[in-house]
Amino acid sequence: MATKRKGASPRKALKKRAVRSSKPARAVKSAAVTRLNGRDTQHAVEQFLYRQAEYLDTKRWQNYIDLFSGDGIYWMPPDPSHTTWEGMPAIFAEDQNLMTVRMNRVLHPDAWSQRPLWGTNHVVGNVTIESEKPNGDVVVRSRFHMMELRRDDVRHFAGSYVHHLKRTKDGYRIKLQRVDMTNAQAAYDYVLQVWV
């Protein structure tokens, strides 16, 4: 069946990437031979989400932006009922250009609000593959919890991610990341400086 034949190609791509990356990924490579395709996808997607969270928590902004495709969008609606960012109020609705503005602003020496010590810690879980296309594109749902420290103040944000991931020769790229924060509608004590 055509779908089965095509289904093999993501595995190939996964192998390719596994060669380039570190030890845990290599273990996947060997296991991939016997595992079902769905489990390979699950693992690859999870690794992708964890890496994305790690880029945020280690402030590797350019690496983070590079995870998006050229036309990719990071979107945080203010209301869970919203179905599109176009023409709608949005907390974030940023393509790579706007993300670059945000990154360069944060890195600017006179970004006053960036002076105080601040850091975040993301935990991502409940990773569920909603759909996978024969070409390897997937829609993934997950949950996150983020703790942020700014000066002596701690804030918590939690919610769900929906990633629309495109399979490319360099691994997954984000076509759309939807972030629904459970606290999206609560008053913001101070603001959000970067992506959640």
Partner 1 sequence: MLQERIPDLAKFVEPDRVRREVYTDPTIFELEMQRIHERVWIYCGHESQVPQPGDYYAVQIGRQPMLMVRGKDGGVHVLYNRCPHRGNMMCGDRHGSAGEFFRCSYHSWTFQHDGTLRTIPMMESGYEGTRWTRDNPDCNMKRAARVESYRGFVFASLSEEGPTLAEFLGPSRIAFDDMCDRAPEGEVEIVPNCFRVVQHSNWKIFLENQLDALHPSVTHQSTGRAARDVEIAIEKRTGHAPLSYHMLSAFATVTIDKWDVFQTLNYPHGHCILTGYMGLRPKDPDTLAYERVMEKAYGKARAEEILGVNIHHVLIYPGLSVQSPLQQLRAVRPLGVDKTLTEIWHFRLKGAPEPIYRRSLAYYNLVNSPATMINADDLENFWKCQQGLASEGGDWVSFHRHFGRDIAKEGYVETGPNMGTSEAPMRNQMKAWSELMSKD
For residue 102, state whether it binds partner 1 (rule: CB under 8 A).
Answer: yes
The backbone torsions φ and ψ at residue 170, rounded to the nearest 5 degrees and listed phi first, read -100, 20
Provide the minimum distance between the beta carbon of 27 and partner 1 in the complex, in angstroms, as a whole number.
38
Cβ neighbours for 182, distance < 8 A, ≥ 6 positions apart: 157, 158, 159
Residue 180 CB neighbour total at 10 angstroms: 17
| Residues of span 43-82 touching partner 1 by CB under 8 A | 76, 78-79
Nearer to partner 1 by C-beta: 14 or 76? 76
Provide the minimum distance between the beta carbon of 138 and partner 1 in the complex, in angstroms, as a whole number.
27
In this chain, which stretch among 3-11, 54-62, 98-106, 139-147 interacts with partner 1, using CB under 8 A?
98-106
Cβ neighbours for 19, distance < 8 A, ≥ 6 positions apart: 26, 29
* Footprint of partner 1 (CB under 8 A): 76, 78-79, 87-93, 97-98, 100-106, 108-116, 186-193
